[in-house]
Chains A and B, each alone.
Chain A
Amino acid sequence: MSAARVGVVTFPGTLDDQDAARAVRHAGGEAVPLWHADPDLRGVDAVFLPGGFSYGDYLRCGAISRFAPLMEELIPAARAGLPVLGTCNGFQILCEAHLLPGALMRNAGLHYICRDQGIRVESSTTPWTSDFTEGQEIVLPIKHGEGRYVADEATLGALEAGGQVVFRYTGGNPNGSLNDIAGIRNEAGNIVGLMPHPEHAVEDLTGAPSTDGRAFFSSILKKLVNA
């Protein structure tokens, strides 16, 4: 049986695409490069929107990327159930594209912050988190200047009530996110966005001092193989 194919999107200014592709490969999947200007998903089974500063983060983080030709294909596919994971800038793009509710604002401390962050997994019901257990405490790197999650009260209430908060910061909220939110999913659960970087926590030799990111990739590959 051929490996599951996970698309990794590169916008101008995307930085973590190489890391995301490597993480997919390490988990046994095939990483398929997707170029922002090609309105073609190349038949992938899932999509990873990596971090970076797409279009230089001009205007607003993710604000220009949502209009990329590729996104014209991706947005309807995601609404129809294609599994999509956005990390950091990818999360910002998902919010700008209204695939996820809320927005990501400048960190409360006003500084870019890179550190190994405690995270609690609040939901293992998404295709990207099924290899975690609910309540599991993990460590992933964060590295962002605009990661303060905000949403209006009604949206926030609905997220909490619907179990759509997937990750919460532990051991200190690094950026002032409401309810310590580090990541969320859409109602259907196929779209997940988070500020931390699982793709930097998959190897012993390099990256963060944890390999907790592996479960994201094993989760999605299991889901795709079993689908």
Chain B
Amino acid sequence: MSLDTVKRAEETPGERQPYAELGMKVEEYERVREILGRRPTGSELAIYSVMWSEHCSYKSSKVHLRQFGTKAPESAALLVGMGENAGVVDIGDGWAATFKIESHNHPSYVEPHQGAATGVGGIVRDIMSMGARPVAVMDALRFGGADAHDTRRVLPGVVEGISHYGNCLGLPNIGGEVVFDPCYIGNPLVNALCVGLLRKDQIKLAVAPGPGNKVVLFGALTGPDGIGGASVLASATFEDESHAKRPSVQVGDPFMEKLLIECCLELYQADVVVGIQDLGAAGVSCATTELAAKGTGGMNVRLDLVPLRDPSLRPEEILMSESQERMMAVVTPDDIDAFMTICAKWDIPATVIGEVTDGGRLVMTWHGETIVDIPPGTAADEGPVYERPFQEPAGQLALNSDTPKRLARPADLRATLLELLGSPNLASKEWVTSQYDRYVRGNTVLAQPADAGVLRISEAMPGAEETKRGIALATDGNGRYARLDPYAGAQLALAEAYRNVATTGATPLAVTNCLNFGSPEDPEVMWQFAEAVRGLADACKTLGVPVTGGNVSFYNQTGSVPIHPTPVVGVLGVIDDVATRVRSGFTGDGDRIVLLGETEAEFGGSEWAHVAHGHLGGLPPKARLASERDLALVLTTAASQGLLTGSHDLSDGGLAIALTEACLAQGIGCAVSLTGDDAFVELFSESSARALVTVRPESFDTFAKLCATHEVPCYSLGTTGGDSLNVKGVLDIPITELRQTHTATLPGIFG
């Protein structure tokens, strides 16, 4: 057995290396040789292969994602933008919020419980590494058909994984989505969002400045987790000691993560951290190269000092291991004792594995021999960038021409409402959300099924400055809309999340996104991606909310069939006085029910077309961004003036479902009259930029004036009260029947 050292690499330039097995193209491998002026060692190849992977380098998406920067609206609130572990926004009174959504799709299909659990763990560590206390999580989930056999394997596992990990961490789960569509049967989407709070002047960054500063690896021990690729490498290089193929899904330990959170917060409070980075995909490779690249450019690491769970691990495997619950910090020599004492208090293993240099090289040794010697920036920042070809899908025109106009309209609107209400996408998600703790930490003001989750800020951290402010968060995304028109679909996802935040009374401030697509090597998928990014960047500009970060997930396809393009958008908003937040739905008897916004006959991609006809065609509803902006202004102004007693956005299933959900919120009925002459369109169209609000009768005139000022159409529909949903002359359904239909579906399928 021989160690593949730099010296050996120089002596054996012709040795065959398994770059292809590690997913590298021959040109990429040649570029590494060019950078180093020799062949890479096995360890260096490990580093470049993971750092230049699609997941870490964004090589296919980068050229498009730049629009989030170039088109970004002016925002005084943006403190840290894209490129860091998570974006940070100023939320006032000296406070900042950091939030991000990230995918864990593929692991969640292979092993639903651990895949989803570690998805939560990973995003929480991203938030921690900004210097924040994580304060809540949300999940945007997509599964195959609800009654499909495999969905019954995947969904309960995913929910249990999120539930177990998130609940053990003590983070309230305050919202998210569960959507079913056959296109996700082989590619479920598990997108996890975390939000954290911190003092504006306490932001931490992933940097390693100051030669002589110590590099500390702390948290869980390193084991053979998620290193299928490294096994290829190890066995190719060290045939006599080849490791068996190992499971490639990581296993999470939420207890360790909880200790890590408390430990990190104490480290921040003691001010003993210069730079910090979490270890996610690409583990030690990623943390060392990124920290070094953003610091003074150099770092020496003794890789044999990394504490191991499995002592037989080779250096290549240590570099690629994705063991969970690990962090890397840069600490001055003066603070190292204090750092170690705090880690010991929380029983967190911590080891100095190296130090910062000014040499401009990342050098790693293994028992005294040099196995890595690279300029770190070449791995971290200078990965390949591809301008992949894209073209409109062959069937797109035909799809858009097949409009819902040909679909038979229902004769019985009562039956249609109940059919939609009981369909898996509109049915109550309580079977899922009741497995999540929404109360822990005591700051949850609103949680699912509210339009957006709302948190109180002031007690998030003991001893922090008092503030009346709160934050609101929502995620949305509609794959069917995006399939019909990815440009508009991405805009509609943003518009809905933006609107959901505004319905609580909060002003939308910033955006995170998780872009779930098929293979970027398919030009038709690449077209969907390019269109979605362009649409989202344009909409962010119009709505004045910058993208602060996010994640791209490609290769969500089975064979040559991709999922619907599914941009999931998260919006964060701020409410000046959280006590003025507006509850979801009807909250009392005798309130005036008001519909805001215009309704047109828009059924392309609608729930009605999907449920009643299994139809997907035509165009999605128009994105009315200027109207969304006006609507949000009316909602937030009215909330701050105390005019609203309840609110709810109109989206999937239109007015019919919005009225039903408003009734079900607290079991309060209503009697309404429609204003036009086409009840079907008024009840089931999914036109955007609409919301339902309730006001006390004596406040109606004031509210109507506010709407007029902002040119928001405002229709008084009727009054709350009673024990049924009564649409005069159209339908009258008792709340008990609505509730039965709404709640029976998921338990009926999942037990």
Contacts and interface: CB of A to CB of B under 8 A. Distances in A.
B439 A207 contact: yes
A208 B459 contact: no
B437 interface: yes
B168 interface: yes
B441 A19 contact: yes
B254 interface: yes
Nearest to B440: A15
A200 B578 CA distance: 18
Interface in A109-135: 111-115
Contact of B579 (A57, A145, A205): A205
Interface in A190-227: 197, 199-200, 203, 205-208
Interface stretch (B42-50, B205-213, B442-450, B540-548): B442-450
A53 B167 CA distance: 9
Interface residues of A, number: 29
A147 to B, nearest CB: 13
A205 B439 contact: no
Contacts of A18: 441-442, 459, 462
A153 B440 CA distance: 35
Interface in B243-272: 253-256, 258-259
Contacts of A197: 439
Nearest to A22: B442
A114 B258 contact: no
Interface in B163-180: 163-164, 167-170
Contacts of B202: none
B347 interface: yes
A60 interface: no
A199 B258 CA distance: 21
A206 B456 contact: yes
Interface in A1-26: 12-13, 15-16, 18-19, 22
Interface string B326-348: 00000000000000000000110
A206 B459 CA distance: 11
Nearest to B443: A206
Contacts of B579: 205
B560 interface: no
Contacts of A114: 433-439
B440 A16 contact: yes
Contacts of B160: 111-112
A58 B442 contact: no
A205 B253 CA distance: 33
Given A56-B254, A114-B437, A207 B442 contact: yes
Nearest to B444: A206
Contact of A56 (B163, B255, B578): B255
A52 interface: yes
Contacts of A208: 439
- Give the size range of B's interface with the partner: 20 to 34
Contacts of A141: 439
Most central of B347, B440, B444 by chain A CB within 10 Å:
B440
A143 interface: yes
Contacts of B439: 19, 114, 141, 143, 197, 200, 207-208
A52 B435 contact: no
A206 B168 contact: no
Nearest to A37: B345
Interface string A47-68: 0000011011110000000000
A25 to B, nearest CB: 10
B645 to A, nearest CB: 15
Contacts of A112: 160, 163-164, 167, 435, 437
B459 A58 contact: no
B255 A55 contact: yes
Contacts of A16: 170, 440
A167 B445 CA distance: 27
B255 A15 contact: no
Nearest to A23: B442
Nearest to A201: B439
Given A56-B254, A113-B434, A114-B436, A15 B170 contact: yes
A114 B444 CA distance: 14
Contacts of B256: 56
Most chain B C-beta atoms within 10 Å of own C-beta, residue among A16, A57, A143, A197: A143
A19 B442 contact: yes
B442 A199 contact: yes
Contacts of B346: 12
A56 B164 CA distance: 11
Contacts of B440: 15-16, 19, 143, 200
Given A22-B442, A53-B168, A114-B438, A205 B163 contact: no
A171 to B, nearest CB: 14
Nearest to B253: A56
Contacts of A207: 439, 442, 444
A207 B160 CA distance: 23
Contacts of A56: 168, 253-256
Interface string B452-477: 00001001001000000000000000
Contacts of B437: 112, 114, 143
A53 B442 contact: no
18 contacts: A13-B255, A15-B170, A15-B440, A19-B439, A53-B258, A57-B255, A112-B160, A113-B434, A114-B435, A114-B437, A141-B439, A143-B440, A197-B439, A200-B442, A205-B445, A206-B443, A206-B444, A208-B439
Given A13-B255, A15-B440, A114-B435, 13 more contacts: A13-B168, A53-B258, A56-B168, A57-B168, A111-B435, A114-B434, A114-B436, A114-B437, A115-B434, A203-B442, A205-B456, A206-B442, A207-B444
Report, nearest first, the 9 A-B pairs whose CB atoms are least far apart.
Answer: A56-B255, A15-B170, A19-B442, A200-B439, A53-B168, A143-B437, A112-B435, A112-B163, A114-B437
